[in-house]
Amino acid sequence: MKKTLSVLLAAGIAYLPLSAYAQDGAQEPVAATGDVASPEDAGVVAVEEEHAAEAAEEGHAETPHYPLKKPEEVDWSFDGPFGTWDLAQLQRGFQVYREVCSACHSMNFVAFRNLEALGYSEDQISSLAGEYTVQDGPDDTGEMFERPAVGSDYLPAPYPNPQAAAASNNGAVPPDLSLIAKARAVERGFPTFVFDIFTQYAEAGPDYIHALLTGYGEEPPAGVQVMDGTYYNPYFISSAALAMPQPIYEDQVTYSDGAPQTVEQYSRDVTAFLMWAAEPHMTERKATGFVTMIFLIVFAVLLFLVKRRVWASTPH
C-alpha cells in the first residue's frame, strides 16, 4: 500500500512541470502574433472603459422612473387613526361608479347588500338590484336563465369574460376595482415611509387613484413618446401613458345634494367609494385598535403598581 502511494505521489510531482509547460506552450502562439496588450494599448482600453461607464451612467440617469409625478397627499375624511366615512361622499362615489366606471370596470367582490353600509335602506337596495339582471341556473331542463338581481347578488360585470373585455378595449383588460385602492400605490421611499409608521398614513392608494383621474390633459414633455391608442398621464404607475382615456369630465354626473360637479369632486368621491369597497370595516378596525391600545396602557400601569406593592417590603 505504501509503495502504491509513493508511486502515485511521484507521478503527480512529475506531471506538474509538464502541465505548466503545456500551458506556456499554448500561450506562446498568442504572444508570437503580437496580440499581447502593450502599456499604450492598456491605457487606451482603460479610457474606453471609462467613457463606456460614463455613457452607462448617463443612460441610467435618463431612464424614466414611473410615475413621472408623485401623487399629492389629499385630505380624506377616513385618514388618520380617528378617520370616519363620509356617507354622503360614498353615495356620490357609488353614483359615479354606476354611471361612468361600471361601463368598463367590474366590482366582483361587492354585493348589493353590502351597500347598506353606505346608508341605503333594504327597499332602496332591492330596488337598485332589480335594475340589473344576472345569470342563474341551471333550471329543471338544465338550461341557464336570466333573472332580476337580488340583494345577495354581486354587482354584475360589464363583460362576460376577460377576452371580451380585451376585445372591446384595444387588447387591454380593465382591472376589477373591488380592491384597487389597496392594490395600487406609489412607494414613498426613505425616510418618508418611516414617518408613516408614526403618522398612520395609509392612503397611498386613494392618493394615487385621485391623482390618476385628475392627471389627464397635460402635454407630454419633450422626449416622451405616446403610442397610438394610449393617453399621456404623468401619474400612471407603470408608464407615461395608459390605454384608458380620460373617464370623467365636468358636469358628467348630476348630483342631487348640490355637491360641485367637477372632475376634482368626482375623483374624490369615487376614490373614497373605492377605498370603502377595498376595506369596508376600516373605521371599526381603527376603533378596535384604539380601545386595545388604551387597554394595554392601563394594563401596563396596573402591572407596574402591583409589582411595586408586592415587592415593596422585600429587600433588594
Q: Is 293 annotated as a binding residue?
A: no
Tell me the C-alpha distance between 281 and 264, whole Å.
26
Is 144 within any annotated ligand binding site?
A: no
Q: What Å distances lie between residue 260 and 157, 234, 250, 269, 301, CA to CA?
A: 29, 25, 9, 11, 50
Q: Is 275 annotated as a binding residue?
A: no
Q: What stretches of the chain show up as alpha helix (H) in DSSP?
A: 2-32, 39-62, 87-99, 122-129, 162-168, 180-183, 192-199, 204-214, 263-278, 282-310
> What does the buried/exposed string (b/e) look like for 199-208 if buried means 16 or more CB atoms within 10 Å of the residue's CB?
eebbbbbbbb
Give the long-range contacts of residues 253-261, CB within 8 A, separation 24 or more. Answer: 253/95, 253/96, 253/99, 253/100, 255/92, 255/95, 257/88, 257/92, 259/88, 259/92
Is 101 annotated as a binding-site member? yes
User: What are the b/e assignments for 64-91, b being 16+ CB within 10 Å?
Assistant: eeebbeebeebebebbeeebebbeebbb
Q: How far is CA 303 from the centre of its chain?
A: 43
Binding-site residues:
101, 104-105, 244
Q: Which residues fall in the annotated binding site for heme c? A: 101, 104-105, 244
